[in-house]
Amino acid sequence: MTSPDVHAEEPDLAALGALLADRTRAGICLALLDGRAWTASEVAALAGVAPSTATSHLNRLVDGGLLAQERRGRHRFVRLADPGMAEMIEALAARAPRRLVPVRSLTAARRRRAVGFARVCYDHLGGSLAVAITDGMTTRGLLSWESGPALTASGGAWLTDLGIVGEGVAAAGRPHVRTCMDWTEGRLHLAGAVAAAVFHRALEASWLVHGDGSRVVRLTDRGRDAFKHHLGLADEVLTVG
């Protein structure tokens, strides 16, 4: 018979849920999906709270393992702990119930549409454009789904044609291909080292350019032509809704 004072470890999902149960902390995690490190003052401005309040929330998120922090001189920077954490936040957002929030201006409405079309998802692309790229790669036989997503031989040759060499998709400890549940589309988009390499190639080639400091990325005319040429994507999926 087991002694009553013997303990065993098990996942504390309730503790993780409590971290994200606060809308300010949840909003911070969603904003940090852009993959960059933010200062505590930037987080406070984003959340619309006092710096002391932001610090309290950040301390909880760091202690809970969702965020990592670093010091640069006198400044404290925070970011999501790792790519897996980013994918978890994105997946939770995709499954979370929807709530109505006020859209108070035409600018805000346009920004919401832009976020849904193309945005940074930690180190790869998210939004309807990312879903369309995943669909296009599947249609052209560059991805196989027989035993989970996998790059085919044709897919490897396609990456080479794009100028992406093997080192660009063989990041240590990361699978070549994985998926992320897109929270605005409710469908899978490509994640992992291949998605990161394609995204960074698109930025290098100016197919995509960063927006106004937010997570939004903008598809250029050059990018529209490139995705038509390389993946046969149609005009309707290359247009912000």
Identify the pLDDT of residue 100.
82
Q: Residue 125's pLDDT band (boundaries 50, 70, 90)? A: very high
Identify the pLDDT of residue 167.
52
Query: Averaged over 138-160, what is the pLDDT?
Result: 93
Q: Kindly state whether residue 213 falls inside one of the protein's structural domains.
A: yes
- Residue 19's domain is classified under what CATH number? 1.10.10.10
Q: Kindly state whether residue 88 falls inside one of the protein's structural domains.
A: no
Q: Kindly state whether residue 123 falls inside one of the protein's structural domains.
A: yes
Identify the pLDDT of residue 155.
93
Q: Kindly state whether residue 91 falls inside one of the protein's structural domains.
A: no
Q: Residue 1's pLDDT band (boundaries 50, 70, 90)? A: low
Identify the pLDDT of residue 166.
64
Query: Averaged over 138-142, what is the pLDDT?
Result: 97
Identify the pLDDT of residue 213.
58
137 in the same domain as 22: no
pLDDT, tens digit (0-9, with 9 covering 90-100), for 33-86: 888 899 999 999 888 889 999 999 999 999 999 999 999 888 899 999 998 898
110 in the same domain as 72: no
Identify the pLDDT of residue 4.
65
133 in the same domain as 46: no
Q: Kindly state whether residue 17 falls inside one of the protein's structural domains.
A: yes
Sign of the Cα pseudo-torsion (55, 60, 62, 66, in order) = negative
pLDDT, tens digit (0-9, with 9 covering 90-100), for 173-203: 566 898 988 988 989 999 989 999 999 999 9
73 in the same domain as 145: no
Per the structure, the count of domains in the chain is: 2
21 in the same domain as 70: yes
Identify the pLDDT of residue 189.
94
62 in the same domain as 133: no
pLDDT, tens digit (0-9, with 9 covering 90-100), for 84-117: 898 899 889 988 998 887 777 887 788 888 889 9
Across the chain, mean pLDDT equals 89
Identify the pLDDT of residue 139.
97
106/28: higher pLDDT: 28
Q: Residue 137's pLDDT band (boundaries 50, 70, 90)? A: very high
Q: Kindly state whether residue 180 falls inside one of the protein's structural domains.
A: yes
Q: Kindly state whether residue 127 falls inside one of the protein's structural domains.
A: yes
122 in the same domain as 72: no
112 in the same domain as 71: no
Query: Averaged over 16-33, what is the pLDDT?
Result: 92
Residue range(s) defining the domain that contains residue 29? 13-81
